[in-house]
Structure 1
Amino acid sequence: MNLLFIADPLESFKIKKDSTLAMMRVAQEAGHHLWFCESRNILWKENLVVADCQSLLIKPSSTSWFELGASEARALNSFSAILMRTDPPFDIEYLNTTWLLSAAVRQGAKVFNEPAAVREHSEKLAITEFPDLIPPTLVTRELGAVEAFHKIHQDIVIKPLDGMGGMGVFRVGPDGLNLASIVETLGENGARTLMIQRFLPEIAQGDKRVLLIGGEVVPYALARIPQGSEIRGNLAAGGKGVAMLLTETEKRIAEKLAPILYQRGLFLVGLDLIGGFLTEINVTSPTCFVEITEQSSFDVPQFWLKALEKAVS
């Protein structure tokens, strides 16, 4: 297969734990041909969606770990599969890329995840489709609504809808200290919508990342455990990642959502669960392949590749 990875600059990869790099390595080892470009390199040209891309060779060196070929313009529908692995934020330029990728899909390209499905599933708001699985949740721009929610639940977490890696997440306890200031700052005085949830003390045991690949559930989750006084388990916020077998509750939730999301074109999904509650549905560039593989008997990149080969065939 010829696989095009649309990703962030290769120089920015954290090579010891980057899931996209793990995908690239396993695909190359299986004999597939790799290509690379950034989202800025996708364009509409002569009535085709084209990538100004380069062939990519992954090398064993930990310093100079990749080699790129000469740039060439190739129609997206000439690739066996296109993997959209650009990190959020999900801003207007990310949207523009998905619209171009949707045009490529109409021309016969196979894009994973399907761009229309990515647009339809806000990583924060998508959980509202499954209210029986989520903690008490409020979505609002209004300070008064947040204050009323806090009065009921006492201990809450406030986060922006477009954050990633735990960025901009605040906890407000029973004393309500700085509640108005946090809402006004994060919400830019009512200009931005926020998500507020009841604080889940089970975060101490980890914010679990559960991977769904090709409509199937990876049997191990990565518990991202907060360290010290931190409330965020995100690895980017200093959380410790520990691979764990799914609990029965986590397995039940994952098995319920996996076929639904896959049928919509979401080939790779990262569910976030705390204490058996669904808190996010990640569809842009889910991670944790390397950590789960290194700490368990389950090879996530191989599982991903077999599912991709099946989806493309």
Structure 2
Amino acid sequence: MAPLTLGFLMDPLEHVRVDHDSTFAMMVEAHRRGHTVRYFEQGWLRFSGRCAEARMRTVSVQAETGRHFEVRQEAVHPISSLDVLFLRKDPPVDVDFLHATQLVELCAGKQPVYINSPSALREANEKLFTLHFPDLMPETFVARELPALADFIARHPGGTILKPIDGFGGKGIVFLDQKDRNTRSMLELLTRGGQEPIMAQAYVPQARLGDKRIILVNGEPLGAVLRVPSDDDHRGNMAAGGKPVKTHLTAREREICARLKPRLLERGLYLVGIDVLGDYLTEVNVTSPTGLVEIDRLDGVSIESHVIDLAERLAANR
């Protein structure tokens, strides 16, 4: 097919880890195919009266640490100049992020294909979106009232996991047992004195064996990696020190993926990373899900090739 222009709204390219970053792997694959690759940061986005635009860098990329990109051109381009726009800014999903998703939709001419849909990124909080599927989850409670949260913890002798609603990378996730003397203090800290809701989930014992990150492209599971926590931590997130281990998909996990597929595709959530713990869905990650590079390495595949295949098909059918 004719070369496309692919844009990536992301964090600074200078700081990516070429041996880990999923966004960078997709950029390398797009560049390998001869597509024009442009990247820009959230702060470079603006609106000039007819169409959102950004200062964009046209780059060549290669998987070589320290020499992983070269800027070919830097200029202001309208968002409508892109055939595909990958919205890959890392969390947190804050007000600046929400404003960026609104700006990129303002195009007087043609809109690009969005991966993922800006409106869906605003809607699909990575913790709360799972609540659409309560039968797939561990017992879960969301609240900001300390007595109600304390009661939930008291009812679970196996322990409780507490999560900030807008947390990412395992940050702020804590485990409390039923009689932990830190319970009140932790609830005060995590809810900011009862001002912000948090998510409480019944602890799943299989957590010590690791949680599984499954990558879905166009609703189909294309691979998974088991993230095993270190001996001195309860979190399997790789950003928190979890170890990536080769794994396979179970029948239950395929069932979970099949349940999610229609809801994801109707919202334009084409690239998603779900987290599964034992038999339970715990998160649906839609902003910048990671794990592609680890799955590639462990399974000898190229998930980013499937992503760029999809981008080409969507652009052709636009």
Same fold at TM > 0.5: yes
Q: Distance in 1 between matches of 2:64 and 2:238?
A: 25
Matched, 1:43 2:46: yes
- Are 1:203 and 2:207 an aligned pair? yes
Aligned mates of 1:101, 1:289 — CA distance in 2 = 25
Q: What's the counterpart of residue 65 of structure 1? A: 68
Measure how far apart 1:60 and its partner are. 5.1
Q: Does 1:295 align with 2:298?
A: yes
Q: Which residue number corresponds to residue 284 of structure 1?
A: 287
Q: Hey, what does 2:253 align to over in structure 1?
A: 250
> Which residue of 2 is the match for residue 98 of structure 1?
101
Corresponding position of 1:223: 226
Residue 71 of structure 1 aligns with an amino acid whose one-letter code is E
Pick one of 11, 24, 28 that aligns with 2:27: 24
| CA distance in structure 2 between the aligned counterparts of 1:227 and 1:193, rounded to whole angstroms | 28
Q: Deviations over 1:171-191 (max 9, x none)?
A: 001222200000001111011
Larger mean Cα displacement after TM superposition, 202-211 or 69-78:
69-78
Q: Do the aligned residues in 2 keep the contact of 1:214 with 1:308 (CA within 8 Å)?
A: no
Equivalent-residue separation in structure 2 for 1:172 and 1:226 (angstroms)? 17
For 2:263, the aligned partner's letter is I
Q: Given residue 169 of structure 1, which amino acid in structure 2 is its aligned partner?
A: I
Counterpart of 2:34 in 1: which secondary structure? coil
Asked if structure 2 preserves the Cα contact closer than 8 Å seen for 1:140 and 1:194, the reply is yes
Distance 2:64 2:277 in 1: 38
250-259 vs 22-31, which deviates more? 250-259
Q: Is the 1:99–1:115 Cα contact (8 Å) retained in structure 2?
A: yes
Shift of 1:217: 1.6
Secondary structure at 2:247 match in 1: strand
Distance 1:29 1:258 in 2: 29
* Shift in Å, 1:106: 8.2
The answer to whether the 8 Å contact 2:51/2:108 transfers is: no
Q: Deviations over 1:184-240 (max 9, x none)?
A: 01111011111000011111221111111122221x211111111210000011100
1:139 aligns with 2:158: no
Report if aligned partners of 2:50, 2:107 keep a CA contact under 8 Å in 1.
Answer: no
The worse-fitting range, judged by mean Cα deviation, of 284-293 and 143-152 is: 143-152
| CA–CA distance in structure 2, aligned partners of residues 107 and 32 of structure 1 | 19
Report the number of matched residues: 312
Choose which of 122, 127, 130 in structure 1 pairs with 2:125: 122
TM-score (norm 1): 0.96
SS in 1 for 2:246: strand
Report the CA distance between 1:107 and its aligned residue.
Answer: 4.8
Q: Which residue of 1 aligns with 2:77?
A: 74
Deviation per CA, 1:31-56: give whole Å up to 9, x if none. Answer: 11100110111111131111210101
2:217 is matched with which residue?
213
Pair 1:107–1:305, CA change in 2 (3 A): closer
* Root mean square deviation, CA, Å: 1.4
1:62, distance to aligned residue in structure 2 (A): 2.1
- Aligned residue for 1:183? 187
Unaligned runs of 5+ in 1: none
Gaps of 5+ in 2: none
Give the corresponding residue for 1:274.
277
Residues 1:169 and 2:189 aligned together: no
TM-score by structure 2 length? 0.95
Q: Secondary structure at the match of 1:57?
A: strand
Deviations 1:110-169 (A, max 9, x none): 221010011110100001111110110010001111111112113101111111110001
Taking only the aligned residue pairs, the percentage that are identical comes to 36
Return the letter of the residue paired with 1:50.
E
**Aligned AA for 2:273?**
G
- What secondary structure does 2:257 align onto? helix
